[in-house]
Chain A
Amino acid sequence: MRPGTATSGIERQAAELKFRDPEKARALTDAMEAACEEVGRERISVMHVCGSHEQSIAKYGLRTILPRTLNVIMGPGCPVCVTDMPEVDEAVALALDGVRVATYGDMLQVPGSAMSLAEAEARGGAVDVVYSAAQAGGLAAAHPDEEVVFFASGFETTAVATAAVALRDPPPNFSTLSAHKYIPPVMEIVAEMPDTRVEGYLAAGHAATITGSAIFGAFVERHAIPVVVAGFEPLDVLAGLLKLVEAVRDGEPAVHNMYPRCVTPEGNRNAQERLWRVFEPTGGVWRGIAHVPNGNLRLRDAFAGMDARRRFDIDLERVWGSSPSTLVQACVCGDIMAGIASPVDCELFDRECTPSTPVGACMVSNEGTCKIWHQYGGHPDL
């Protein structure tokens, strides 16, 4: 069936953008099919570490056209999902204590030990959804009589925006509760997990825009597996996966930049300089994964006054008064993010655990594997 308005839909966009062209997609999947056959194994497992890659794969239904032997695992690429429960608890405690908490939309439903920020709001806490760090700063300026805390999540890309606000003399009532994470260290952790047999990584193009593609060089040397930097349009993802399969086939571990229209080897020096002027890496727990050395970003001492953790005496006891649901013990989010399990392996998936009643954070964020599979269906057999 090909009816409808001639000017609507992805056909028109494909004509403009060329990154959603079904013909080119078929050429790429045919080449991938051939490369997989040349590898000649029953299963080739590669991992991407970005929710936006999973979004693209799921939203455009790409798993239905990938080679059956190619297993594309979503790793710990959702900053919201790896936000640890105590971090949510801190935001909840602040909101319940009368502090105005500003955060990104998908942080609202992330379960804490006792409740999410959305529940804290329903119980009278002041919680604002913001679209940018700058908007959170603006909120503080608009409410000079209130303490405004920006509960900041995201990887190094998003952290740059938080840093920019910190460097621009924010209002005195503004502070940041950082749940920012740094991706390169967790790739090391997952690569070393005995059950995760990842043969190659698809690295997130937007993070690499900041850090540069060269940052993965040391990793490739240490672990001898290829890393391909890829963008997010469907053809970007397919081209990246093809390059990755070819690199696996050729047994030549290297960094390949398949997103050269945005990513350079050295990255955005200006952004890096700001990022590291404000933040420093510190060890922390990524929910469901592990303690990741240097995996969290905290505000440097020079910005202590803007660090909500040092500005407030956050009372977590009150939040810990009620215990987390026993369902949490059955949640396999951690295994999913480590690439050992997929959502359908979880007994809670789409039964007890749905986006309206999430047990694990993977069901909350638009970047989370469970939410994405719930939303778009993960099954290649549709």
Chain B
Amino acid sequence: MSVATDTIVTLMHGAGGRAMRRLIEETLADGFPEDGVDGIGLASMDDGAAIRIGEGWLVVTTDSHVIHPYAFPGGDIGRLAVAGTVNDLAMMGATKPLGLTSAVIVEEGFPTAELERVQRSMVGACREAGTTVVTGDTKVMGRGELDGIVINTTGVALADAVVADAGLSPGDAIVVTGTIGDHGIALMAVRHGLDFDADLASDVAPINGLAEAALGVADGAVTAMKDPTRGGLASALHEMAEKAGVGIAVDEAAVPVSDAVRSAAEILGLDPFHIANEGKAVLGVRADAVDAVVGVLRSHPLGAAAAVVGEATAENPGRVILDTGLGRRLVTEPEGEPLPRIC
């Protein structure tokens, strides 16, 4: 059954997995003229667009942020709105945003003190990212017409070279820049009222500086880059494997996961590979540059736990295979929002 024959949109279509990609490909991104777009456009389904301007690239990305609750351990919707867009630009190699737009839609009754708090977070995140908001838009909707607050940000940046999702070659090392699963598990704990008595906090942060450090090691050292947001590391690896037509072999023991996330995920029956991150990147790195790249990542405050977790392979194109230390299995993408399971 394809999305087109479904009668209504469900939450699964917004969860970042296959269902969402199908909805976009078959409906939302369908039919726009491709003429005149030189570079990476809608059809690439990348983190953003890259339009050729002279010798360089104009990179554009946009992201609407809806999150419940809008404030959570480690951040809030304001920080997320800045980091999300800055990171999407950075993942395409555009690590110096020229500026952001910010469109805020607020529900009638939203406390202004809270709005100020969100605003201060946006300012703080802009400072960290070395960018600012250059224009914006404000709307207020009636009570019950939306859930509190929605923020859309668009970012633009110039880049000399674009890093695509699809750049992996067999032999490239797969590097993650830190622990996985922190954002999603922290949110889930708050949403479901689960008190784990543990330090669960979102990792939300702009990582353009981290990406810049990695890209600066050598031209072409970083072959592919993706931020493992919704759908987690599993979805990011899948997209990279599918788009490049390579396999990816992952060593589970090498993947950094904090003790708190590991325990909470195990209790909830969730796989940290499926959980969203908002301050991490997955990199494909040429084998001869891997030590240098991991070195600069680890010396950056946001990359201290960076690690090589696997390798792109010529075998098993499009598949992600995990060595659990005991045996081997497939890593697949989560379908829909991960839900705590019964037993």
Listed in ascending order, the chain A residues whose CB lies under 8 Å from chain B are 1-5, 8-11, 13-14, 20, 22, 25, 51-52, 55, 58-65, 79-80, 104-109, 118-119, 122-123, 129, 131, 135, 153-154, 157-158, 206, 234, 352, 354-357, 365-367, 374-377, 382
| Cα separation A6 to B322 with both chains bound (whole Å) | 18
Q: Do B329 and A64 touch across chains, with their CB atoms under 8 A apart? A: yes
Q: What is the distance, in angstroms, from A164's C-beta to the closest C-beta of chain B?
A: 15
Given A1-B308, A356-B336, A22 contacting B325 (CB threshold 8 A): yes
Q: Do B307 and A4 touch across chains, with their CB atoms under 8 A apart? A: yes
- CB contacts (< 8 Å) of A352 on chain B: these are 1
Q: Provide the B236-254 mask, 1 if CB < 8 A to any CB of A, else 0.
A: 0000000000000001111
Given A1-B308, A105-B340, A10 contacting B327 (CB threshold 8 A): no
From B331, which residue of chain A is reached at the shortest CB distance? Answer: A376
- CB contacts (< 8 Å) of B271 on chain A: these are 59
Given A1-B311, A65-B327, A356-B17, A365 contacting B341 (CB threshold 8 A): yes
Listed in ascending order, the chain B residues whose CB lies under 8 Å from chain A are 1, 8, 10-12, 17-19, 179, 192-194, 251-257, 262, 268-269, 271, 294, 305, 307-311, 321-330, 332, 335-336, 339-343
Q: Do A377 and B330 touch across chains, with their CB atoms under 8 A apart? A: yes
Q: What is the distance, in angstroms, from A24's C-beta to the closest C-beta of chain B?
A: 10
Q: Do A154 and B327 touch across chains, with their CB atoms under 8 A apart? A: no
Q: Do A11 and B253 touch across chains, with their CB atoms under 8 A apart? A: yes
Question: From DSSP, what is the main secondary structure of chain B's interface residues?
Answer: loop
Q: What is the distance, in angstroms, from B242's C-beta to the closest C-beta of chain A?
A: 15
Complex partner residue of A62 from B11, B327, B343, CB under 8 angstroms: B327
| Cα separation A69 to B11 with both chains bound (whole Å) | 43
Q: Do B305 and A5 touch across chains, with their CB atoms under 8 A apart? A: yes
Q: What is the distance, in angstroms, from A161's C-beta to the closest C-beta of chain B?
A: 10
| Cα separation A106 to B251 with both chains bound (whole Å) | 29
Q: What is the distance, in angstroms, from B305's C-beta to the closest C-beta of chain A?
A: 6
From A153, which residue of chain B is reached at the shortest CB distance? Answer: B342
Q: Do B326 and A60 touch across chains, with their CB atoms under 8 A apart? A: yes
Residue of B1, B8, B323, B325 most packed against chain A (CB within 10 A): B325
- CB contacts (< 8 Å) of B343 on chain A: these are 51-52, 79, 154, 157-158, 206, 367
Complex partner residue of B1 from A14, A80, A135, A357, CB under 8 angstroms: A357
Residue of A4, A123, A365 most packed against chain B (CB within 10 A): A4
Q: What is the distance, in angstroms, from A328's C-beta to the closest C-beta of chain B?
A: 13
Q: Do A131 and B192 touch across chains, with their CB atoms under 8 A apart? A: yes
| Cα separation A376 to B329 with both chains bound (whole Å) | 5
- CB contacts (< 8 Å) of A122 on chain B: these are 8, 10-11
Q: Do B251 and A2 touch across chains, with their CB atoms under 8 A apart? A: yes
Q: Do A109 and B341 touch across chains, with their CB atoms under 8 A apart? A: no
Q: Do A10 and B308 touch across chains, with their CB atoms under 8 A apart? A: no
Q: Do A376 and B340 touch across chains, with their CB atoms under 8 A apart? A: no
Q: Do B325 and A4 touch across chains, with their CB atoms under 8 A apart? A: no
- CB contacts (< 8 Å) of A58 on chain B: these are 329
Given A109-B336, A376-B330, A382-B328, A9 contacting B10 (CB threshold 8 A): no
Given A2-B254, A4-B251, A104 contacting B341 (CB threshold 8 A): yes
Q: Write 26 A-B pairs (CB below 8 A) sorted by A numbering.
A: A1-B308, A1-B311, A8-B254, A8-B255, A8-B305, A9-B325, A10-B325, A11-B325, A14-B325, A61-B323, A61-B326, A61-B329, A79-B342, A104-B341, A106-B342, A109-B336, A135-B193, A158-B342, A158-B343, A354-B335, A356-B19, A356-B335, A374-B332, A375-B330, A376-B330, A382-B328
